[in-house]
Structure 1
Amino acid sequence: MSGAFMGPPWQMDWVDTARTARDSLPQQVRDLIDAVRAELVTVKDPYFRGVDNLPDLPMGCRIAPLLSTVPNGLHVCHFDHGRGWLHYTFVRRTADPQIIIEEVFWQ
């Protein structure tokens, strides 16, 4: 490997509790989460998506930093028009950068 920063598709890993929460949801919600996942692993930068990040995401989804003061930290993707969210971090490394889903919630 040349040491250059790798690009998409990104690897994605799930914290066990997030995977369990996702797997327990109704099929239509799991499909929506899978659509968000597909967009996250293929976008050039899972954190900076520009001001208008809606066109690439499924309808009713929005991504933002959890804390505006930490733009490279934990991010939240609200999905199903705010009925659910998933928290993720993007670990930027030269070797094996990846997205880690830390929490999934839906009501």
Structure 2
Amino acid sequence: MTDGFMGPPWQADWTKEAEDNRNALPAPVRALVDAARAELVIAKDPYFRGVDAAADLAVGMSTEPVQSTRPGGAHVMYFDHGRGWPRYVFTPRTADPQIVIDECIWH
């Protein structure tokens, strides 16, 4: 698509550290991380801005900005009812929009 802003599915890349952390998790937890990533790449707006924008997320998932004063900055997507999260940044470029996941935690 070259005539304007591209839409989902978005490109999602992992930093090496985040990918290593994800790969070190038990298989059932990796499946939860993969489900959270899938929600990000198919969302119309990966920052889930607006009233009830995150209403369609799976049970146990939610998202919020890392800093409330930076709503366009890094976000976390909680999964497993808040036990884990990937932290990500969405860059809505016209030519190559991208989600970069730079942290993956589960406890």
TM over 0.5: yes
Per-residue CA deviations over 1:42-92 (Å, capped at 9, x if unaligned) read 111101343335543232111011111100000011111111111000011
The TM-score normalised by the length of structure 1 is 0.91
| Equivalent in the alignment of 2:7 | 7
The letter of the residue matching 2:17 is T
Percent of pairs with identical residues: 58
The TM-score normalised by the length of structure 2 is 0.91
Residues 87 and 101 in structure 2, CA contact (< 8 A), matched pair in contact too? yes
The letter of the residue matching 1:8 is P
How many positions carry a matched residue from both structures?
107
Residues 39 and 57 in structure 1, CA contact (< 8 A), matched pair in contact too? yes
Matches within 5 A, 1:1-107: 2-107=2-107
User: Which runs of no fewer than 5 residues in structure 1 stay unpaired?
Assistant: none
Q: Counterpart of 1:63 in 2: which secondary structure?
A: strand
User: Which runs of no fewer than 5 residues in structure 2 stay unpaired?
Assistant: none
CA distance in 1, matches of 2:55, 2:67: 23
